[in-house]
C-alpha cells in the first residue's frame, strides 16, 4: 500500500479512500491512484482490513444434524442430500452479489463446541444455521454467543432469533385436499421423524385437516426422510393397511422409495394408490410416475435467510423477525 501511495504521490490514507470508494477524493487523484494500483498489482490484505473493520465478509453455513455412529457416512449423507444442496445454492446466490463468501460447516452434536469456538473467533460475520432436530442445543448456544444468526425453521424453544420457514401445516393440508379431491377415501401418511418439528407439523397438519373433513383417524408410519426409510415405511404400511388409496409422504426422497415399493408389489400409481410428496426436490422428477408434490421453495428460503442475515450484520441491534413462505402444490402424475 505504501508502494501504491508513493507511486501515486499521495498518502496511504488517500489510497485507502480510493479503494473503499470514499466520495471526497479529487477525481484526478483518484485516477492516479487507480493507475498506481493497476501498475503495482496491489491487492489489499484482507487480514489487516478485518483486524480494523471487524468484518470478515464471510458467513458460516452450519448444518447441524444429530449423531451418526459413522462420521464418514454422516458427511456423505449431508453433502449428498439435495435439500442441503438447494440450501447451499440459494444462500450462495444471495450472498455472491455482496461479495460475501460461505464457509460450510457440518456438525453433529459431538462437536458443537468446535463450531462455537470457530464462531467466537470471529472468522465469520454471521451464521446461517440449519438445524431441525428438536433437542439440538446449537441454536441456543449460537444465540447466546450474540453473533448475528438466522435459523432455518421455527426454533422449538422460544429464542429471540430470526428464522425462515415454510408453512408446514398448510403444505400438508394442500396434499390432503388434493387426495380428497381425487376421490381417495382410505388415506394414510408416511411422516418424517417426529422429533423434528417439520416432521411433526406435516403429520399434524395432515391429520387435523382431514379430521375436519370427516377422517378422525389417519394411519401413519414414521420415516426418516431417506429413500431407504421410505421403502421400509411403505412396505410396513401396505402390510398394516392393505386397502389405502391415498398417501401423503413427508418428503420426496421417501416418496421415491415408496413408489418403488408400490411398483415392485404391483400397485398402480396413481390408480390404486395416489401419492403426494413434499419438497419438490429433484427427486420428484427422478420418480416414475413423476411425483405430485408440495413445493417448498428451498432456494428462495435460503436466499431469504441470507438477506435477513446480512440485514442483521449491517444493523446490529435489529430485532429478530421471521419470514414464512407459502408452499404450493405441484401436480404431476402420481396423484
Partner DNA sequence: AGCGCCGTTGAGAGCGCTCTCTCCCCGTGG
Partner DNA sequence: CCACGGGGAGAGAGCGCTCTCAACGGCGCT
Strands 274-279 and 126-131, sheet pairing: unpaired
- Residue among 31 and 240 whose Cβ is closer to DNA: 31
Residues 11-50 that bind a second copy (CB under 8 A): 43-48, 50
Q: Of 8-16, 98-106, 197-205, 238-246, which segment contacts DNA by CB under 7 A?
A: 8-16
- Residue among 14 and 162 whose Cβ is closer to DNA: 14
Smallest separation (angstroms) from DNA to the CB of 45: 3
For 133, counting Cβ atoms within 10 Å of its Cβ (0-12 exposed, 13-18 middle, 19+ buried), the class is middle
The set of residues, in sequence order, having a beta carbon less than 8 Å from that of 152 and lying 6+ positions away, is 87, 128, 129, 130, 131, 132, 163, 164, 165, 301, 302, 305
Which of 1, 159, 186, 290: binder of DNA (CB under 7 A)?
1
Binding pattern for the stretch 98-137 against a second copy, x by CB under 8 A and - elsewhere: -x-xxxxxx-------x--xx-xxxx--------------
Residues 43-102 that bind DNA (CB under 7 A): 43-45, 48-49, 51-53
- Residue among 42 and 163 whose Cβ is closer to DNA: 42
- The answer to the question of residue 24 lying near DNA (CB under 7 A) is yes
Smallest separation (angstroms) from DNA to the CB of 41: 12
Q: What is the 3-state secondary structure (H, E, C) of 264-331?
A: HCCCCCCCCCEEEEEECCCHHHHCCCCCEEEECCHHHHHHHHHHHHHHHHHCCCCCCCEEEECCEEEC
- The answer to the question of residue 78 lying near a second copy (CB under 8 A) is yes
- The answer to the question of residue 80 lying near a second copy (CB under 8 A) is yes
- Binding positions for a second copy, rule: CB under 8 A: 43-48, 50-51, 54, 56, 58, 71-72, 75-76, 78-82, 84-86, 88-90, 92-93, 99, 101-106, 114, 117-118, 120-123, 227, 256, 260, 263-264, 282, 286, 288, 299
Amino acid at each position: 500500500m505504501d508502494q501504491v501511495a508513493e507511486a501515486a504521490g499521495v498518502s496511504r490514507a488517500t489510497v485507502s479512500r480510493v479503494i473503499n470508494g470514499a466520495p471526497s477524493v479529487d477525481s484526478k487523484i483518484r485516477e492516479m491512484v487507480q493507475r498506481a494500483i493497476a501498475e503495482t498489482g496491489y491487492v489489499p490484505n484482507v487480514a489487516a482490513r478485518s483486524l480494523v473493520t471487524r468484518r470478515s465478509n464471510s458467513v458460516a453455513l452450519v448444518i447441524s444434524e444429530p449423531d451418526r455412529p459413522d462420521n464418514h457416512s454422516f458427511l456423505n449423507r449431508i453433502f449428498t442430500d439435495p435439500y442441503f444442496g438447494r440450501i447451499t445454492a440459494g444462500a450462495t446466490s444471495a450472498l455472491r452479489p455482496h461479495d460475501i463468501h460461505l464457509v460450510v460447516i457440518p456438525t453433529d452434536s459431538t462437536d458443537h463446541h468446535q463450531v462455537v469456538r470457530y464462531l467466537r473467533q470471529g472468522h465469520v460475520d454471521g451464521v446461517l444455521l440449519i438445524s431441525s432436530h428438536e433437542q439440538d442445543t446449537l441454536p441456543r448456544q449460537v444465540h447466546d454467543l450474540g453473533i448475528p444468526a438466522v435459523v432455518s425453521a421455527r426454533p422449538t424453544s422460544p429464542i429471540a432469533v430470526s428464522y425462515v420457514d415454510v408453512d408446514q401445516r398448510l403444505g400438508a393440508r394442500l396434499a390432503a385436499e388434493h387426495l380428497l379431491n381425487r376421490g381417495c377415501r382410505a388415506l394414510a401418511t408416511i411422516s418424517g421423524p417426529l422429533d423434528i418439528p417439520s416432521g411433526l407439523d406435516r403429520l399434524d397438519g395432515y391429520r387435523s385437516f382431514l379430521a375436519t373433513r370427516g377422517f378422525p383417524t389417519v394411519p401413519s408410519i414414521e420415516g426418516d426422510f431417506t429413500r431407504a426409510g421410505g421403502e421400509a415405511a411403505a412396505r410396513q404400511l401396505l402390510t398394516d393397511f392393505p386397502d389405502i388409496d391415498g398417501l401423503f409422504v413427508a418428503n420426496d426422497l421417501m416418496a421415491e422409495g415408496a413408489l418403488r415399493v408400490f411398483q415392485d408389489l404391483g400397485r398402480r400409481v396413481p390408480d390404486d394408490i395416489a401419492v403426494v410428496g413434499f419438497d419438490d426436490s429433484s427427486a420428484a422428477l427422478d420418480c416414475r410416475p413423476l411425483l405430485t408434490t408440495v413445493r417448498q421453495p428451498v432456494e428462495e428460503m435460503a436466499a431469504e435467510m441470507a438477506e435477513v442475515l446480512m440485514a442483521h450484520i449491517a444493523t446490529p441491534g435489529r430485532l429478530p423477525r421471521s419470514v414464512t413462505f407459502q408452499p404450493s402444490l405441484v401436480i404431476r402424475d402420481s396423484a
